[in-house]
Amino acid sequence: MQEDQSIIIPKKNRTDPPIGPDSLMILLPSELRYLVNVTNAREVSLNDAAISRMYLVKQDGLEPLSLCGPFLGAPQAVMALEKLIALGAKRVWMLGWCGSLSPSARVGDLVLPTSAFPDEGTSRHYPIGYDPPTTDERLSQALQLALEQRGARAARGPVWTTDAPYRETKAKAEKFQSVGALAVDMELSALATVAIYRSINFAALLVVSDELFDYVWRPGFKDPRLKEQTRLASEVLLDVAMNFSRGQEVKR
């Protein structure tokens, strides 16, 4: 056994269900419930604690699309991603919320992350080099096109990821603003890193839930626009993932 080989390896257990190549990681409980309802997804049990809830969307003649969640923070999300990859996921799409670091991104606005600045403890255990991890350009372009077709837009750019939300200091915010970060979240850099390490495709769509670009926290969790835009993001992610699974990727 090599010294850097993992002792615990994610795997597909005998009783685990087969899944298709596309999987949605829905970090938000309300949106997971919504997508399960609109797709008539069937809940399945896993012999694994990595994923709290998992559902399969039946597609005639095709492998099922999987929905899973909710998740909070890089360690839990990465455990789930590792399990999805072991089950056969090749393209993973994430929906979550973020805090804005730019006056151009207000509560309810959409963010398409292009890369992430890791400031959490999980990424460093997956060596991929020194450059910030990036999201998959093809998947991100598909999301952008789907948004445009609905008359919506998303800001594109880097995201700062931290696993210590109560330590988002002014100094740190200024640091990541200076290198172009549009927002801050708790999972993206770790998921993007693992996707690169495991050679799968990963993209994300985030919705601004709060603002701290001027170092004053303004939560927007009761803002009706946040709910509306989060629902839009859910529907776009589902449509795009299902198109990919059917071989019907929409291009310009």
- Residue-wise pLDDT tens digits, 59-100: 887 888 999 999 999 999 999 999 999 999 999 999 999 999
Q: Identify residue 85 by its one-letter amino acid code.
A: I
Residue 4 has pLDDT above 80, yes or no: no
- Residue-wise pLDDT tens digits, 226-247: 999 999 999 999 999 999 988 7
Q: How confident is the model at residue 50 (pLDDT cuts 50, 70, 90)?
A: confident
Residue 17 lies in a domain: no
Residue 7 lies in a domain: no
Percent of the chain whose predicted confidence (pLDDT) is above 90:
83
Residue 231 lies in a domain: yes
Q: What is the CATH number of the domain that holds 201?
A: 3.40.50.1580
- Distance between CA atoms of residues 65 and 161, nearest Å: 27
Torsion of Cα atoms, 211 then 146 then 123 then 84, to 10°: 130
- The alpha-helical segments, DSSP class H, found in the chain are 29-39, 74-87, 137-149, 170-178, 188-197, 224-245
Domain count, the chain: 1
Residue 52, token pair as written in the block: 């709290």
What pLDDT score was predicted for residue 1? Answer: 47
Q: How confident is the model at residue 7 (pLDDT cuts 50, 70, 90)?
A: confident
Residue 49 has pLDDT above 80, yes or no: no
Q: How confident is the model at residue 41 (pLDDT cuts 50, 70, 90)?
A: very high
What pLDDT score was predicted for residue 3? Answer: 67
Residue 153 lies in a domain: yes
- Distance between CA atoms of residues 30 and 32, nearest Å: 6
Residue 158 lies in a domain: yes
Residue 201 lies in a domain: yes
Considering only 61-65, 107-111, 149-153, 182-186, which range has the smallest mean pLDDT?
61-65
- Distance between CA atoms of residues 139 and 141, nearest Å: 5
Q: Which domain holds residue 177?
A: 22-245
Measured between its terminal Cα atoms, the distance across the chain in Å is: 48
Q: Using only the alpha carbons of the chain, give its radius of gyration.
A: 17
Residue 194, token pair as written in the block: 């693992």
